[in-house]
């Protein structure tokens, strides 16, 4: 019974992030932006970042998607503000491993996004959960190229 209550709590946190997403909107002073589409379901995310002195100073997302996609984007933005590009990239890798059912050494660093570990049981949802994280990964890679 306790596990059922914990599972319900996790679901409620995910629903709350989806219905009341953090950092949703437009970032007027973005330094980097990207749009990604999940072709298997049609989810779309536009991600805007402001990177200064090698850190993610601010991040916003917009677009449309399922509950998992929106919740994951909200959770990801919470985690990334203030992180260096290297830290942010490492977190995107850890999240990708987590939702594939792999062990992650510092799961606490993922914040609420760690609650999406159950997505591993639903392979069709992995792309939904990772869409915003993949967008961030691509934006960070492009930001690195801009500096060279």
Segment 130-148, tens digit of pLDDT: 999 999 999 999 986 655 4
> Which own/partner contact pairs does 107-115 have at CB distance under 8 Å and 24+ positions apart?
109/79, 110/75, 110/79, 111/75, 111/78, 111/79, 112/13, 112/17, 112/75, 112/78, 113/72, 113/75, 113/76, 113/79, 115/10, 115/13, 115/14, 115/75
Q: Per-residue pLDDT for 5 more than 80? A: no
CA distances from 95 to 28, 60, 134 (A): 28, 19, 10
Q: pLDDT of 19-29, one tens digit each? A: 999 999 999 99
Task: Please give the residue range of the domain that contains residue 10.
Answer: 2-147
CA distance 60 to 83: 15
pTM for this predicted structure: 0.91
Domains identified in the chain, total number: 1
Question: What is the pLDDT, as a whole number, of residue 4?
Answer: 76
The pLDDT value given to residue 3: 57
> Looking at residue 87, which CATH number applies to its domain?
3.90.1010.10
CA 56, distance to chain mean position in Å, is 14
pLDDT score for 10: 82
């Amino acid at each position: 019974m306790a596990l059922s209550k914990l599972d319900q709590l996790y679901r409620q946190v995910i629903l709350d992030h989806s219905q009341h997403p953090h950092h949703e909107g437009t970032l007027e002073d973005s330094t980097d932006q990207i749009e990604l589409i999940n072709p298997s379901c049609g989810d779309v995310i536009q991600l805007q970042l402001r990177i200064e002195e090698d850190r993610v100073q601010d991040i916003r997302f917009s677009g449309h998607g399922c509950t998992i996609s929106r919740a994951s984007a909200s959770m990801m933005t919470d985690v990334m503000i203030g992180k260096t590009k290297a830290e942010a990239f490492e977190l995107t890798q850890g999240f990708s491993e987590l939702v594939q059912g792999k062990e992650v050494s510092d799961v606490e660093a993922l914040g609420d996004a760690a609650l999406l570990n159950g997505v591993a049981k639903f392979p069709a949802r992995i792309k939904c959960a990772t869409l915003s994280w993949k967008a961030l990964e691509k934006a960070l890679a492009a930001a690195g190229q801009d500096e060279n």
